[in-house]
Amino acid sequence: MDKKMKKDSLLKSSLWISISGIISRILAVVYIIPWNIWIGPLAVNAANAMYGKVYNIYNLFLIIATAGIPSAISKEVAAHNALGRFDQSEKLFKKYSFYMTLVGIGCAAIMFFGAKYVAIVLAAGDMRVVTPIKYLSVAMLIIPALGILRGYIQGYAFISYSAFSQVIEQIARVAYMLYATYTIMILQKGNYISAVNQSTLASFIGATLAYIFLLWIRVKVRRSVTIDDIKTKDDLPTDETIDINFGSMLRSAIPFLLVDTIMTVLQLFDQTTFTWIYQLILHASEKTIDNLYAMFGFQANKIIMVLVSLAISVSASVIPALSAMVSKKVSNEYIQNFMRKIVQFTVFIILPATFGVMAISRQLWTAFVFYDQSILGSKVLIVSCFEAFFYCLFMILENILQVTHHMKKSMIYLAIAYVLKIVLQLPLTLALGVYGPVVATTIAFVIMSHFAFRLINKQFEIVDRELGKKLIRILIDGVIMLVVVVVANLLIVHVISDATKVGAIIVIAICGILGILVYGFLSYKDGSLNILKDIRDTKIY
């Protein structure tokens, strides 16, 4: 029998998922540079358009095929494992794997045999996307099962391995894309359509390697469960069995799906309504609409997704931990203490990150977009940072509601968020222009976060004077850091020009290091840094 594997702490889990998310997003930006160069200036716009259309279609099928499964199964596996019901976890894993493999086969069949009709409906009849859709259909055979395996590993509190598999997947995908594109375009002097086709196949390559890695981890995880861990019927508070079927799986998964995809849905809503408002009411030109939408809907969104990845890391760690506590029926006082740590940890991580992005917003815009648009773009990015911060809170709170058996209220709050967004979209866009859609989304998240937190606090009485003092200290530390970095930024740009991408990156690096040092020193002096020790010592179960 293998040496017993040590479960991840909440801090280790969050750090690993944060790191994997940041690495994946960096790779997603960096690979574009050589890819575009090898495609060539004559075909690059056509290749990007084709690639974008294909992946929008692919993402739609991914949503259908995965349906929030990783979060759902991690919750259920953690709940059963916490009670020693490892046999039930295995039944869940095997049944869910079977069901989701069938779903993947169904989606793959539609994409492969119906590629022509998918192109007509979802790509405005662009027949260039037919072949890459068929290539991507192969990935659908494995990705749903990969999602199940990731959730299973997370449920065993080995979240770092699940996060590492995402890094493996992205590295393999990007490596194959670049290899195939260089071979076709440079060595073989081929055309961009062949390069795009092979680039889409990279998703299957990455998913396969990640799946093989997690299968190996699954073997190690199972061998690490000792006889003493497994509870007998007499040890359990009840002898409940679980109803494992496709319907129960969907009931568990769909709420997580709805929460996880809310930002995607709202962005699609912005994409259509912003264009309609500017065309039909403001009579703006197509170029103006494209420029403004690209600012808040694509460019700023790319940057703030780093903040969102931090929230995802906290959320993915909280779900199995809280689910295990609820299933073991631990005291409300224990959950209350855990919730307070989560609130403090979330604010401690996300607040300074948000302030940091705001402080160097102009340099970030220059580095990732263009210097010419950096004044307006940086303002849009600052407003988007507020949206990202409250979206992070909303997502974490919604997941907590679901795990603590407030599923109905969670879905009601989600629906109200959509209604608020729809109602506010028109008047705010007319009044605020490019900032309108972002402000509408932010207000929806703020209001719903308030209701969600009020419900959670009513049940567990999280807020007290001590927590309030800790949060105020974190806020003060964050504001001081923001002021210091902004002043330093103003002084540095007089010495180092931020008008070029290289100069902007140098300024970002200097200000980033300064911000970390200032915030770290302040949080150490006032004791806020102790939350990392508390979280490090908090086991998922």
Q: What is the pLDDT along the chain (541 residues), one digit of tens a residue?
A: 445 555 545 555 556 666 776 677 677 666 766 776 787 767 766 676 667 667 767 777 777 666 566 666 766 777 777 777 777 777 778 887 888 888 889 889 998 998 888 887 766 567 888 888 898 888 888 888 888 888 788 777 677 787 788 888 889 988 998 998 889 888 888 888 888 888 888 888 998 999 999 888 888 877 765 444 444 444 444 444 445 555 665 666 666 666 666 776 777 677 677 778 888 888 777 677 767 776 776 667 767 777 776 666 666 566 666 766 766 676 777 777 777 887 788 888 888 888 988 998 888 877 766 566 668 878 888 888 888 888 888 877 877 777 777 778 888 888 888 899 999 989 998 888 888 888 999 999 899 888 888 888 887 777 778 888 888 998 999 999 999 999 999 999 888 888 887 888 889 889 989 999 999 999 888 888 887 776 665 554 4
Which pair of structure tokens corresponds to residue 439? 């402000």
Handedness of CA 266, 270, 276, 277 (dihedral sign): positive
489, 490, 492, 495 alpha-carbon torsion, rounded to 10°? 160
How far apart CA 26 and CA 89 sit, in angstroms, is 35
Report the candidate in 233, 266, 246 with the shortest Cα–Cα distance to residue 87. 233
Please name which of 384, 374, 450 lies closest in space to residue 417, comparing C-alpha atoms.
450
Query: Can you name the residues that pair with 411 across neighbouring β-strands?
Result: none
d(CA 33, CA 48): 12
Choose among 527, 217, 233, 263: nearest CA to 392.
263
Predicted local confidence at residue 113, as pLDDT? 92
pLDDT of amino acid 483:
94
pLDDT at residue number 273: 79
Please provide residue 539's backbone torsions phi and psi, each rounded to the nearest 5 degrees. -85, 150
Q: Are 431 and 310 in contact (CB under 8 A)?
A: no
Helical spans, DSSP H, in 123-261 = 130-139, 143-155, 159-182, 192-224, 246-260
Non-local CB neighbours of 531 within 8 Å, separated by 6+ positions: 341, 344, 345, 348, 470
Amino acid, single-letter form, for residue 454: R
**Tokens 């979240």, located at residue:** 159
Q: Answer whether 385's CB lies under 8 Å from 533's CB.
A: no
pLDDT of residue 250: 62
- pLDDT at res. 233: 44
| Tokens, residue 244 | 């494992």
Q: What would the DSSP string read from start to end of 305-344?
A: HHHHHHHHHHHHHHHHHHHHHHHTT--HHHHHHHHHHHHH
Tell me the HSE value of 179 on the side-chain side, using a 13 A CA sphere. 9
| Contact by Cβ (8 Å): 312, 389 | no
Distance CA 512, CA 102 (A): 47
d(CA 300, CA 126): 28
Q: How far apart, in whole angstroms, are the C-alpha atoms of residue 451 and residue 183?
A: 55
The vertex-136 CA angle with 184 and 24, nearest 5°, equals 80
Please give the single-letter amino acid code of residue 79.
A
E strand or H helix that includes residue 429: helix 407-432
What is the reported pTM?
Answer: 0.68
Rg (CA), the chain: 24
H or E element in which residue 183 lies? none
Which DSSP symbol is given to 499?
Answer: S
The burial of 344, by beta-carbon neighbours within 10 Å (0-12 exposed, 13-18 middle, 19 or more buried), is given as: buried
Report the pLDDT value the prediction gives residue 123, as an integer from 0 to 100.
64
Question: Residues near 56 by Cβ (< 8 Å), separated by ≥ 6?
Answer: 122
3-state SS string over 219-235? HHHHHHCCHHHCCCHHH
